[in-house]
Structure 1
Amino acid sequence: MKFDGWMDYQDAHCFFLFSEGGRVQHLMHQIKYKGAQDVGRFLGVWCGSELNKYNWPFTYDLILPIPMHAQRARDRGYNQAQCIAEGISSSTQIPIIWGGIERIKNSQTLIHQNRQERFQVLEEVFQVINPSLIQGKHVLIVDDTLTTGATMLALGQKIKTAGARQVSFLALAALQ
């Protein structure tokens, strides 16, 4: 798994696997760049329904969608991880963390960087503003796609340091 050896975590889930140029990658591109928020929510509901079948939701206290920098959120108009998290939450009844954790640096695109380069860029990107929201909680970090895992790891380490009891990861799609 992409997180092994980088930090202590509980679970790592992926709903779809994608290969470059495939249908799932196209679908993720629609969610992330083409405004298909409803598709993100729908797939989140589906993903959450699948989690319910295995009783996994009962192990998580909170869902944390990967935060976007305020400027990028204004430019795009929405956070695709938030849309997916809303769908998962509606199926599982796990509450979403709103506020308290933010992306304080608007990092450049990470598309052409390797894992180590990504991790270095992301090391100080997230800030926990209200640690009481996560202290002692098992937090499920949700993102749209998982390539190297650097973004999830950076956020996971930040919230673990701020007092989260456990951290788990869920990507709607992961690169094969």
Structure 2
Amino acid sequence: MDAFFTSTLTVALAEIGDKTQLLSLFLAARFRNKWGIVAGILVATLANHAVSAWLGDWLGQFLTSQLGQWLIGGSFIALGLWLLIPDKDDSDDSRFLQFGAFTASVVLFFLAEIGDKTQIATVLLGAQFESVLWVTAGTTLGMLIANIPVVFAGHHLMNRIPLNVTRWLAATAFVAVGLLQIF
């Protein structure tokens, strides 16, 4: 259960202010079908994070040495520092919007997650915990925890959340996980 709780917490924190959260805000402003957006986020995240957790689990077999543990821990620390850099919304690809809330959300969310901080975190969590199921479930829940309120509460919520504080909290969580992995 450590894999599930750590994955949920770290990804939920890392997602605040992330480009995929900005994409959720964009989709919520564009479509009335909020549950279609949520379902699209769920499907895209499950697909993306299952592959990412599997990749991390597979890579984990090569990182069982002390050096490998240092690499995983150092990667968490580097990712924590990367979280301090704010993302920009680059979701202006309108060709998918014509297919409706669900399809647009699946496609745009899946594409936005490729190479994103939370995808890299999922690979690292998969390597650390060697549990595709629990890491995928935890990171997907973390994404939903961070994005569902944005879909339904949108601008009101984004104006009230202090993004700098949440960025620092997320960075601290990732650095702490990295230090725990090393020591």
TM band (smaller chain): under 0.3
CA radius of gyration, larger in: 2
The structure carrying a bigger helix percent of its residues is 2
Q: TM-score, normalised by structure 2?
A: 0.24
The structure carrying a bigger strand percent of its residues is 1
